[in-house]
Amino acid sequence: MPQLQDIHLDEALTHVSIAYRNEDFIADRIAPRVAVRRQTDRYYIHNAQREWMRPSIDTRAPGAESQELDFSLSTDNYFCDDHALAAYVPDEERDNADTAILPDIDRVEYLTERLLLNREVHLAARLASHTSIPETNVAADLPWDDPASQPLVTLSQAANTISAAVQRRPNTLLLAPQVFEALRHHPTIVDRLKYTQASAIGAQALAALLDVDQVLVGRASVNTAAEGKPAVTAPVWGLHAYLLHVPSRPGLRTLAGAYTFVWAGTRGAQASGLAVERWREPRRKADGLRVQMYYDHKITAPQAIHRLVNCIQAG
């Protein structure tokens, strides 16, 4: 909690302040949000055995019965855990704060940022640990920061694995920042794009080369230092890459590698699922603020994802 001497500065600027925060979160672009009416429920899985793709005899003799077919239908479940963080604004802080300090807004933004960071970390951990997701250990051959490596071959093989398994082409490549830098400077990729790129190779040019709709760079970082110690930051997405199929929007009978089920039925929840609550604590002479979100990161089609680990050399 800020001390009184920290919230009043002589001649403090009212239009400038400094904040260290993450530039971007990409969880929603990897596991699209699905708003649900209940905290826990089941969803249907159509055609898990690919019966819809099986050729069949459909000729019928006069007076004969038609060939009878049916398809498989199964279910799985989700449970949206409660994720919430709270803070208090003492009356003394509010009464003494300069114009540049907005105690309530600053608290809500801070709590929201921390909640979204946790969500990004949770999704990264889920994708990194799910045992049913096919995986390639890039370093077992040559890491991509080695000029002799063949990242285009590795990514093409991963794409073919996904297409063969789920009959959808992967349309999204997620890269940790250091992995992105290694790819955009790899001699093979530079050579392929040298006549089409007038400037440095970016995510859009890389996406066109790899025949995916988007290349996402997971730039969010976590501070791994103990509280009160100088910050030590590390990328949330490690040294990994993920090739996957992400639908343009969630829907019925729509394949997705992962979804984020978000319970928006809780009191005060916005369309995003985030809810902000305020209450008075008379004994503390303070107002309480809580930011809350119920969600579940669910790997709905692990074969629509390919995990590429140890893409570059550590260190």
Residue-by-residue pLDDT tens, the chain, 315 positions: 666 555 544 444 444 444 555 667 899 999 999 999 899 999 888 766 666 666 777 777 788 888 777 777 788 999 999 999 999 999 999 888 877 778 888 888 889 899 999 999 999 999 999 999 999 999 999 999 999 999 999 999 999 999 999 999 999 999 999 999 999 999 999 999 887 766 788 999 999 999 999 999 999 999 989 988 999 989 999 999 999 999 988 888 889 999 999 998 776 677 778 888 889 999 999 999 998 999 999 999 999 999 999 999 876
- Alpha-carbon distance of 41 to 56, in angstroms, equals 35
Angle value at C-alpha 110, between 235 and 268, nearest 5 degrees? 115
Query: Which phi and psi (to 5°) does residue 292 adopt?
Result: -140, 145
Task: Give the residues across from 315 on adjacent strands.
Answer: none
In whole angstroms, give the CA distance from residue 117 to residue 93.
27
Extract the tokens encoding 153. 């071959």
**DSSP bridge partners of 87:** 289
Predicted pLDDT at 17: 43
Which pTM does this prediction carry? Answer: 0.85
Q: What's the rounded Cα separation, in Å, for the pair 258 and 256?
A: 5
pLDDT score at 313: 87
d(CA 172, CA 185): 20
The whole-number pLDDT of residue 315 equals 61
Query: Which fold would CATH assign to domain 21-57+70-309?
Result: phage-related protein like fold (3.90.1690)
Residues whose CB falls within 8 Å of the CB of residue 32, separated by 6 or more in sequence, listed in order: 246, 247, 249, 250, 256, 259, 260
State how far the Cα of 31 lies from the Cα of 246, in Å rounded to an integer.
7
Q: What pLDDT does residue 64 have?
A: 83
Q: Domain spans of the chain?
A: 21-57+70-309
